[in-house]
Structure 1
Amino acid sequence: MQFVDALPVLAVLGTGVVYGVDVFFALIGRRALAESSDAAIADVMGRLHQVADARMPIFGVTGLLATIASAAVSPIGTTTIWLNLIAIAGLLVQLSLYLIVAKPINTKMTEAAQRKEVLSDIRELQHRWDSVIVARAIAMTLAVGCLITATSLR
């Protein structure tokens, strides 16, 4: 197997990790957190963001770079290149929502959890974070679907 042949696999695997996390929180996490206490949200989500923000970028970056590289080596005008370009668009939408909305909230929650503090606006912060998770999950679903389809066409 040549490196070029491994690019779609890397794209699917890296993107798949982020996809799974976003879909989990869109379908399960939001509901569970809505029924949790402020203290539980503050502690658990602060600690989850602390760990995830340190570890998840490797998967997201791998997925995005492999998708870009896969598009770059796809023949122009083929369905494969279009699927890769649509996947890139989905990944960039998800990344933008993360960087603009979620990341600043993650940072506040992480810092508060490290201080063992429950922020007075913890529920509002969680609600704001939740407000983009469905869109992030949809963007990732589009990306993963396109990547899997493009891989099957190779």
Structure 2
Amino acid sequence: MDIVFTIAAILGILSVAVIFGTDVLAAAVLRSAYADVDDRTLVQSAGRGHYYGDRRLPAAGITGVVMSVAACVLAFAGGSPTAGVLAALAVALLLVWLVLFARIAKPINKTLTDAALADVVPANARVLQRRWESIIDVRAVLQGLALLAMCVSLVV
């Protein structure tokens, strides 16, 4: 059972790391870049980024949650309650991230994607971007803590 837990945890870690890296990039780089461009460029860049991200990144996000749940179950079943609790903590953090994403970021992603593809600039483009950015630090921290919990679950 240990090897199956380890494989599930590693797959969870790798998948969570993809989303963590994406959120850190947005917090550390894209936020500043978008602040320096005009509204049309903001809408085109962010909207088209969301267009591709919302199609390509769910596989990593879903895999991260599923493998973290699997690692949690396998740890408890294999008699490693500390690893199980750490994996459960990771799952809880990922679920909080998912709620924030679904309620705040995803609707903004859709609005900016639709605007970019229609080649229009919404009057509230900057307001939308500021709202999206208002949770990016929290999202990155949640993903980072989930990643840390999963890594520690491998060594306890």
TM-score interval, normalised by the smaller of the two chains: over 0.9
The alignment covers a number of residue pairs equal to 153
Q: How many angstroms does 1:2 deviate by? A: 5.0
Structure 1: state its 5+ residue gaps: none
Q: Does 1:81 align with 2:76?
A: no
Q: Which residue of 2 aligns with 1:45?
A: 46
Q: Deviations over 1:47-100 (max 9, x none)?
A: 000000001100000000000011011136721011101101110111111000
Q: Which residue of 2 aligns with 1:28?
A: 29
Instruction: Check conservation: 2:104, 2:132, Cα contact below 8 A.
Output: yes
> When the two structures are superposed, what TM-score results if normalisation uses the length of structure 1?
0.94
Q: Distance in 1 between matches of 2:89 and 2:3?
A: 24
Q: Which residue of 2 aligns with 1:124?
A: 127
Q: How many angstroms does 1:152 deviate by? A: 2.6
Q: CA RMSD in A?
A: 1.5
The farther-off stretch of 25-34 and 54-63 is: 25-34
> When the two structures are superposed, what TM-score results if normalisation uses the length of structure 2?
0.93
Structure 2: state its 5+ residue gaps: none
Q: Does 1:57 align with 2:48?
A: no
Q: Deviations over 1:84-129 (max 9, x none)?
A: 0110111011111100000000000111111111111110000000
The farther-off stretch of 31-40 and 121-130 is: 31-40
Identity among equivalent pairs (%): 33
Structure 1 residue runs of 4+, over 6 Å off?
none
The farther-off stretch of 43-52 and 5-14 is: 5-14
